[in-house]
């Protein structure tokens, strides 16, 4: 079964024309973009609350509250959900094949990250 999963995974990666390194880079770029956008949104909201009369901050917040900007966030959410679901599945399969502290830790971590991103995406969908 393990060799079948390796063949399927390699087939999927080859269809994307991504090497494993490029796949890792794409995941890291999506996570970084999501984190940067979240910090920008939070900072803008805090600054507008502190300085409501600042026209530049108000205009920037209006730009961030457009549907295209919110759609970008949703796409990043879905991308990270897919990645965390995949890695949680791989970690759980590894845990099933042979118990180790590392496989237990990674299964718990990626399962938590998957559940967290589903909650974040649900919140972002309600805002959209």
Q: What is the DSSP string of 36-76?
A: HHHHHHHHHHHHHHH-TT-HHHHHHHHHHTSHHHHHHHHHH
Q: Is 95 helix (H, G, I), strand (E, B) or coil?
A: helix
* Segment among 8-17, 37-46, 98-107 with least mean pLDDT: 8-17
Q: Which residue has the higher pLDDT, 59 or 3?
A: 59
**Structural domain includes residue 117:** yes
**Structural domain includes residue 4:** no
Name the most confidently modeled range: 9-18, 19-28, 94-103.
94-103
Q: How many domains does the chain have?
A: 1
**Structural domain includes residue 24:** no
| Full domain range(s) for residue 106 | 30-127
CA dist., res. 87 & res. 96, Å (int): 14
Q: Is 9 helix (H, G, I), strand (E, B) or coil?
A: helix
- pLDDT score recorded for residue 113: 83
- 65: its two tokens: 């509250």
Is the pLDDT score of 16 beyond 60? Answer: no
Torsion, CA 109, CA 110, CA 115, CA 119, rounded to 10: 100
What percent of the chain shows pLDDT beyond 90? 0
pTM, full prediction: 0.55
**Structural domain includes residue 47:** yes
**Structural domain includes residue 99:** yes
- pLDDT score recorded for residue 21: 73
Instruction: Check the CA dihedral 124-32-54-58 and report its sign.
Output: negative
**Structural domain includes residue 2:** no
| Model confidence band, residue 74 (pLDDT cutoffs 50, 70, 90) | confident
**Structural domain includes residue 111:** yes
What percent of the chain shows pLDDT beyond 70? 88
């Amino acid at each position: 079964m393990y060799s079948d999963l390796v063949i399927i995974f390699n087939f999927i990666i080859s269809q994307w024309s991504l090497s494993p390194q490029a796949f890792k880079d794409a995941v890291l770029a999506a996570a970084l973009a999501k984190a940067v956008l979240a910090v920008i949104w939070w900072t803008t909201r805090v600054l507008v609350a502190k300085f409501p009369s600042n026209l530049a901050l108000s205009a920037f917040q209006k730009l961030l509250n457009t549907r295209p900007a919110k759609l970008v966030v949703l796409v990043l959410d879905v991308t990270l959900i897919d990645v965390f679901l995949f890695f949680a599945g791989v970690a759980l399969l590894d845990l099933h094949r042979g118990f180790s502290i590392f496989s237990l830790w990674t299964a718990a971590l990626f399962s938590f990250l998957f559940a967290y991103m589903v909650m974040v995406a649900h919140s972002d969908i309600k805002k959209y």
